Amino acid sequence: MNYADIKTVDIQDGTGVRVSIYVSGCHFHCKGCHNKEAWDFNYGKKFDENTIDYIIDLLKPSYIAGLSILGGEPLELVNQQGLLPLVKKVKEVYPDKNIWCYTGYDFEKDVYGKMYKEYSYTKEFLEGIDIMVDGEFVEEKKLVDLKFRGSTNQRKIDVQASLKTGSIVQLKFGDESRYEKEEIKNPKIIFFKEFEDKKEKQDDIASENISIPVASQENENIISIVPAFEIQETQERIAAEGLENKDDNNL
């Protein structure tokens, strides 16, 4: 596997300050792609043990929230196999740091529906991924105020929650509330599993260190997760829509 670039400080491709790796090779060839040079599987440098050690070292500072994996296409089979030792090592050395992965594949159809069931390394790979941003970049659906995604068709998916529940769990920010209002009718607010140890600290809810999932009031299924620094906007929207939250966990 080759990689096109490593960014030592990245604040665009996931929450917090991150380290990012752009792998080489992508067959999607989306119109308007910003990383065309990385379509070629032979582009860039060889990814090897030294690359893994370098990334592990870059992740060391406490202000680094985690690793983002982009492309090219990280889920091309050859790239999944190449990246697996990196994902495992990051989770082993930094269990509290998260990993975001960007893919042009559709999560339900291609990733969970096919690769996860057919390839043991996909299962292992997904076990190490916290958030996956899925779907091809669609230039006609590009908007400038989208968070951590390029076009409105792309979704930020909580991979572990999705695997656990068997249905898609999305991480949602203000951009979804602006463009996908239909999906978040009757929301209730509960705590994101990542921050369960802070459940008692209701006062901390406004802290930017807490994320909060939004679940359907009708069937209890979590349908989205809202980071706390966006919660004000969520509350305002709930109020504007005249929705009442009666659950004990609600804000």
Binding segment (CB under 6 A) for ligand SF4, from list 3-11, 44-52, 69-77, 115-123: 69-77
Q: Which of 29, 109, 164, 201 binds ligand SF4 (CB under 6 A)?
A: 29
What is the C-alpha to C-alpha distance for residues 27 and 16, in angstroms, rounded to an integer? 30
For residue 14, what is the DSSP state?
Answer: S
Site string for ligand SF4, 74-113 (x = CB under 6 A): ------------------------------x---------
Residues β-bridged to residue 67: 19, 99
Q: Does 44 bind ligand SF4 (CB under 6 A)?
A: no
| Closest separation in Å from C-beta 71 to ligand SF4 | 5
Site size for ligand SF4 (CB under 6 A):
12
Residue 72 preceded by cis peptide, ω within 30: yes
Binding segment (CB under 6 A) for ligand SF4, from list 23-31, 87-95, 160-168, 227-235: 23-31
Q: Does 26 bind ligand SF4 (CB under 6 A)?
A: yes
Site string for ligand SF4, 131-170 (x = CB under 6 A): -----xx---------------------------------
- Residue 193: C-alpha distances to residues 160, 169, 239 (Å): 10, 12, 25
Q: Which of 15, 20, 35, 177 binds ligand SF4 (CB under 6 A)?
A: 35
| Closest separation in Å from C-beta 79 to ligand SF4 | 11
What is the C-alpha to C-alpha distance for residues 66 and 71, in angstroms, rounded to an integer? 17
Nearer to ligand SF4, 103 or 177 (CB): 103
Q: Are the beta carbons of 54 and 6 closer than 8 angstroms? A: yes
Q: Does 176 bind ligand SF4 (CB under 6 A)?
A: no
What is the C-alpha radius of gyration for the chain, rounded to an integer number of angstroms?
A: 18
The SS3 call for residue 251 is coil
Joined tokens for residue 2: 């080759």
Binding segment (CB under 6 A) for ligand SF4, from list 61-69, 70-78, 115-123, 228-236: 70-78
- Across the chain, the runs of DSSP E, i.e. the strands, are 2-10, 17-23, 45-46, 64-70, 98-102, 131-134, 155-158, 170-171, 187-189, 211-216, 222-227
Nearer to ligand SF4, 78 or 205 (CB): 78
The SS3 call for residue 125 is helix
Interface residue list for ligand SF4 (CB under 6 A): 26, 28-30, 33, 35, 71-73, 104, 136-137
